[in-house]
Amino acid sequence: MNTVNQDIAEQDDQDRLILDSVDRFLERHVRPVAMQLEHDDIYPQDIVDRMKEMGLFGAVIPAEYGGMGLRAQTYARIIERISTVWMSVAGIINSHLIMATIVAKSGTEAQKRAFLPRFATGELRGGLALTEPDTGTDLQAIRVTARRDGDDYVVNGTKTWISNGIQGGVVALLVKTDVNAQPRHHGMSMLIAEKGPGFRVGRKLEKLGYKGIDSAELVFEDYRVPADRLIGGVEGRGMACAISGLELGRINVAARGVGLAQAALDEAVRYVQQRSTFGKKIHEHQAIALKLGDMATRTQASRLLVDAAAKAYDRGERVDYEAGMAKLFATESALENAIEAMRIHGGYGYSKEFLVERLYRDAPLLVIGEGTNEIQRLLIARRLIERNPI
């Protein structure tokens, strides 16, 4: 075996050990409680504590800063597995690791040393604060401002829909440091904003699905952040920071899509062999069999797209094209599989006693978050033209 193959084999062995321990954790500690916690919209503190012990909050944080230093490919497989059992748990890790990735890729050395080891243990858990009440997709239209005052920035404004906003202790906060800059993104920066005076939770947001994880409005009123918390130490790089985190975020959301599509398929495959109508098991009706064929194909195609995007990310390539395709296809597949699983379950699919009801409520978020699927299509098309000039 040559050294490259040996490295790959070792990584595969390491992956297998990690994935096995994730599977055991999910079966013992998540599956038995997920339905109740989800229906009651309760934050899964015990699950979070166990994930801390397993080191999952440091999954992709480099080992030199105390993390596990996993490849995105391995991380995506972990997220897929978690999402087959309860997608909200994957969201708690994702927002946190997007922030950690932004600090790891764009932070100063002092910022990395100060924050990454605390992120890796899960002692400090983070989130990503981009969206505002008046703007989500058009990020350059944000209104939260940060004005330099001596050794601090003074922040004012409101962010909304921030995952981990209540339970987390810190967010990567996208702000305008120059409201008159043209192009607008030259006036945007990102701050490491820890909770403190002037930074409060406005309210918890109630949702269709994706329960358990906290989604919050965050309010900043003359909130002071030391200037050395400006990520990278230079103003005007806020959009670049956000984009660097969102590449991993999109791979994560795509992997969640695979997990959800797989869960819907698994539920359908079980049910069609239990339920009979007109004297035969329902999978023997061709109308149901056709659905199963499409569901299985969509799930596997999604998995392959996610794997390809994660591999390109691990090679250090720019992956908005690959991650965009994976996100688009896998999340649409999740949505389609969820509704097909519900149809296959007939009336039981509409019952809160069956998992497919939750999959149906969780799936729509995936086509909205981390850049809507309309925007993914536009991004893919733009890169397509850039890569194929005539």
Encode 109-148: b = buried (16+ Cβ within 10 Å), e = exposed.
eebbeebbbbbbbbebbbbbbbbbeeebeebeebebbbee
CB of 154 to ligand FAD, least distance (A): 21
* Nearest one of 7, 92, 103, 83 to 44, comparing CA atoms: 92
Among 150, 160, 241, smallest CA distance to 202 is for 160
Residue 75 or residue 210: which is nearer to ligand FAD going by CB?
A: 210
Q: Does 239 bind ligand FAD (CB under 6 A)?
A: no
Beta strands 215-226 and 152-163 are antiparallel
Alpha-carbon gap, residue 259 to 274, rounded angstroms: 23
Contact flags string 118-157 toward ligand FAD, x per CB under 6 A = ---------xxxxx---xxx--------------------
**Measuring CA to CA, which residue among 186, 215, 217 is closest to residue 203?**
217
Choices 46-54, 118-126, 233-241, 371-379; region in contact with ligand FAD by CB under 6 A: 371-379
Residue 215 is a binding residue for ligand FAD (CB under 6 A)? yes
Output the smallest distance, CB 344 to ligand FAD, in A: 27
| Nearest CB to ligand FAD, comparing residues 130 and 288 | 130
- Which x/- pattern, by CB under 6 A, does the window 340-369 give for ligand FAD? -------------------------x--xx
**In this structure, are residues 198 and 191 in contact, taking their beta carbons and an 8 Å threshold?**
no
DSSP H stretches of helix in 66-143: 72-85, 87-106, 109-121
Segment 1 to 60, residues that bind ligand FAD, using CB under 6 A: none
Q: Which of 380, 358, 382, 17 is nearest to 207 (CA)?
A: 358
- Beta strands 170-176 and 188-194 are antiparallel
Q: Tell the smallest beta-carbon distance from residue 314 to ligand FAD (Å).
A: 24
Q: Which residues contact 2 (CB under 8 A, 6 or more apart)?
A: none
From the list 64, 194, 370, 374, the catalytic residue is 370
Q: How far is the CB of 95 from ligand FAD (least distance, A)?
A: 5
Distance CA 290, CA 371 (A): 31
Residue 357 annotated among the catalytic residues of the structure: no
221 near ligand FAD, rule: CB under 6 A: no
Site string for ligand FAD, 65-104 (x = CB under 6 A): ------------------------------x---------
Kindly state whether residue 208 participates in binding ligand FAD, applying the rule CB under 6 A: no
Task: Determine which residue in the list 25, 115, 153, 161 makes contact with ligand FAD, applying CB under 6 A.
Answer: 161
Nearer to ligand FAD among residue 167 and residue 372 (C-beta): 372
How far apart are CB 137 and ligand FAD at their closest, in Å?
3
For 46, other C-beta atoms within 10 Å of its C-beta total: 12
For residue 22, CA distances in Å to 18, 85, 123, 221, 248 come to 6, 11, 20, 41, 20
Residue 257 is a binding residue for ligand FAD (CB under 6 A):
no
Residue from 88, 163, 177, 331 in contact with ligand FAD (CB under 6 A)? 163
Local structure of 375: helix, strand or coil: helix
Q: Binding string, 287-326, against ligand FAD, x = CB under 6 A?
A: ----------------------------------------
Q: Please name every residue paired with 188 in a beta bridge, in sequence order, or none if there are none.
A: 176
Asked whether position 191 contacts ligand FAD by CB under 6 A, the answer is no
User: Among 143, 185, 195, 207, which residue sits at the site for ligand FAD (rule: CB under 6 A)?
Assistant: 207
Q: What are phi and psi of 388, to 5 degrees?
A: -130, 60
Residue nearest to ligand FAD (CB): 136
**Calpha distance 73→273 (Å, rounded):** 33
Nearer to ligand FAD, 59 or 365 (CB): 365
Given a contact cutoff of 8 angstroms between Cβ atoms, the answer to whether 163 and 129 are in contact is: no
Task: Name the residues annotated as catalytic.
Answer: 370
Give the footprint of ligand FAD on this chain (CB under 6 A): 95, 127-131, 135-137, 161-163, 207, 210, 215, 365, 368-369, 372, 374-375, 378
